[in-house]
């Protein structure tokens, strides 16, 4: 079939990861993390829209999110995205090209059916990237992919900081449930973020 292209506006501020590394919390004069919270909400809303259309992004990461000059979010890089047709899953043929540090652990099981909840795991990692000011989400530097996967499956998670909002830390934990069925949907995440709004 024919391939599709996505035409977007030029976003001059670049990707979110780079922006976060260049704009530290202390420079933002934002003690209540309102800018970070806005990013989280906008990403969740964008992902809720994608999931309502049956689209799995499969590569959600700060590097694939652009930020406008007015600090609004644009989710990009749909190179790995898949549209769910009549089923609510997509079966992976080879997981070797997946971004291991952002990818849900179940995606590495042979022939596993990747669902919308797999993106929820990645969203938890993106939240961590935001609140850690754009750091890379490695549990241990220079750890091999297989070792990383074993650590995640045994319950190891990215280190959170005590100065991050409690509800954000709790939401990360919900996104990182080992059983995909225990993770919230993006609609649930958006609702929870609105309910905990300051």
Whether 59 sits among the annotated catalytic residues: the reply is yes
Query: What count of other Cβ atoms lies within 10 Å of the Cβ of residue 188?
Result: 14
**What DSSP letter does each residue of 51-113 carry, written as one string?**
HHTTEE-S---GGGEEE-TTS-EEE---TT-EE--SSS-EE-S-GGGS-TTTS-GGGGSTT-E
Could you say which of 27, 59, 179, 182 is catalytic? 59
User: 161: which DSSP letter?
Assistant: P
Query: What count of other Cβ atoms lies within 10 Å of the Cβ of residue 15?
Result: 19
C-alpha–C-alpha distance, residues 43 and 27, integer Å: 23
What is the torsion angle, in degrees rounded to the nearest 10, for the CA atoms of residue 194, residue 77, residue 17 and residue 112? 70
C-alpha–C-alpha distance, residues 2 and 100, integer Å: 29
Q: Which residues are catalytic?
A: 59
């Amino acid at each position: 079939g024919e391939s599709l292209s996505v035409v977007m506006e030029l976003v001059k501020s670049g990707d979110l990861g780079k922006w976060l590394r260049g704009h530290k919390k202390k420079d933002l004069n934002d003690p209540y993390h309102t800018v970070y919270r806005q990013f989280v909400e906008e990403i969740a809303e964008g992902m809720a829209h994608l999931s309502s259309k049956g689209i799995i992004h499969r590569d959600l990461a700060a590097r694939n999110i652009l930020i406008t000059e007015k600090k609004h979010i644009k989710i990009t890089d749909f190179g790995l995205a898949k549209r769910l047709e009549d089923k609510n899953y997509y079966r992976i043929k080879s997981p070797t090209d997946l971004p291991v540090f952002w990818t849900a652990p179940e995606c590495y099981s042979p022939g596993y059916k990747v669902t919308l909840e797999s993106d929820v795991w990645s969203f938890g990692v993106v939240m961590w990237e935001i609140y850690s000011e754009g750091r890379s989400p490695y549990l241990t530097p220079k750890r091999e992919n297989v070792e990383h996967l074993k650590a995640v499956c045994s319950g190891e998670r990215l280190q959170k900081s005590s100065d991050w909002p409690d509800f954000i830390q709790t939401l990360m934990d919900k996104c990182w449930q080992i059983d995909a069925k225990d993770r919230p949907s993006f609609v649930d995440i958006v609702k929870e973020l609105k309910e905990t709004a300051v």
